Chains A and B, each alone.
Chain A
């Protein structure tokens, strides 16, 4: 069913009796061409682009719980393409371009809102670094503007410009950045994939891999064995647990990132604002709540909750740039489990096992990457070659020395 304003009108006039479920609930078949493990944003996007771009139909997405129950519904919904390094920036710019056309593409309202992202500058050295980053962004075709404090005052007069320790000296602004309604991304991709014949199978946990002479030929699941020509892992947050079933050790640790929402306020934030001297980012949802977050907790965990020291640290970051936030009450907080990789960058690659593919290591930047991750993973699965903007995301890059370390923190996953 194609959604449109006319559809809403005619359904409204006929008692809304004609709406149908957005996707089917099929039983798994005995075999598929491609099995995607993980019905999160990336897995569903992969299935969608396999069907749409490559004409493949015989695909299953296996999800342990319900689709969108993981990190696609637990993030702070920010989209941007403001990376520095060559291996990253063209990939994230492709993602932002896909976000811009996404709703028309899959005929679903994902509330893509390009309100801009403002990364504040607090020192001369930081301005130099951000100017360099802005140039790298523009070279990749993205947009970046360096602003002075007077220009920022026009839209955000409430920021603490004269803060004694972290005065605001300017910002790098990406007008095309913004936020997206995250659950709708999962639902839109699921509906689009299902429409094109993809089987989305929920409550189906993968418990093992079927191997035949060193080739992966299928999976064992809680709903029985399923064979496939290609098996694609896409379970960031749980990558090590799933890969372990194939005997793989990964350059990944699992960490928790917390997110927070304040009580609803009148419209006050024009877009996304980030603190440059600490780690704090904030936007305002359409319901009015301030949605914000900061650092990961720093210890390995699979629990979807964090601890209070990080809550304090994040709130201090908020107070440092935006003292008025101290008058708002914290309404909700939660945690999501991240694949933290050894250089802070993700993987989209074949594994050393024939027929087994890997997508993961998204650290806490996976949401904005959802469309490009699906697009490039689909390209790899369909053609056997990495997409031109995702050639750097190799699993063996630590062996070859081709790391993509945006932060320059080395092999310490909890510092990226």
Chain B
């Protein structure tokens, strides 16, 4: 798989490690969240067959976190964004 890094251009997927579902960006506030909220955040996944937004870390490269939208049936990479931009757009890391 080739990941089209927004800053570095096409990079081999072997340079990255994968954390998983990009919903992990939305960690509940530990001071106010219920036990169920934290459990669901930490342990449950949608795990779709088809388009999946996921967090990739460019460990062997510029160490940026990316949100990769990828098809889990074909391995086609549809979209790559900087996780920082996604998080800000979605109201995180203000």
A contact residues vs B (CB 8 Å cutoff): 240-241, 249-254, 298-303, 307, 309, 342, 398-399, 411-414
Known: A249-B46, A253-B47, A414-B18. 9 other contacts (CB 8 A): A240-B48, A249-B40, A252-B45, A299-B1, A300-B18, A300-B52, A301-B72, A302-B72, A303-B72
Among B39, B48, B70, B75, point to the contact of A398 (Cβ < 8 A).
Answer: B39
B25 at the interface (CB under 8 A from A): no
CB distance from B58 to the nearest CB of A (A): 14
A254 touching B72 in the complex, CB below 8 Å, given contacts A302-B49, A309-B13, A413-B20: yes
Complex: A413 Cα to B42 Cα, angstroms: 11
Complex: A301 Cα to B74 Cα, angstroms: 8
Specify the main secondary structure of chain B where it touches its partner.
mixed
| B73 proximity list for chain A (CB < 8 A) | 301-303
Q: What are 17 A-B pairs with beta-carbon distances under 8 A?
A: A240-B47, A249-B46, A250-B44, A252-B45, A252-B47, A253-B47, A299-B18, A300-B21, A300-B47, A301-B75, A302-B72, A302-B73, A307-B1, A309-B12, A342-B43, A398-B42, A414-B20
Complex: A240 Cα to B49 Cα, angstroms: 9
| A307 proximity list for chain B (CB < 8 A) | 1, 13, 75
| B14 proximity list for chain A (CB < 8 A) | 309
Among B19, B35, B54, B74, point to the contact of A303 (Cβ < 8 A).
Answer: B74
Give the bracket for the number of chain B residues in contact with chain A.
20 to 34
| A309 proximity list for chain B (CB < 8 A) | 12-14
Q: Does B17 lie within 8 Å of A298, measured CB to CB?
A: yes
Q: Does A249 lie within 8 Å of B45, measured CB to CB?
A: yes
A411 touching B75 in the complex, CB below 8 Å, given contacts A298-B17, A299-B54, A302-B49: no
Complex: A250 Cα to B44 Cα, angstroms: 5
Complex: A281 Cα to B73 Cα, angstroms: 27
Identify the closest chain B residue to A410 (Cβ).
B42
Identify the closest chain B residue to A240 (Cβ).
B47
CB distance from A233 to the nearest CB of B (A): 14
Q: Does B45 lie within 8 Å of A251, measured CB to CB?
A: yes
Complex: A307 Cα to B44 Cα, angstroms: 26
| B13 proximity list for chain A (CB < 8 A) | 299, 307, 309
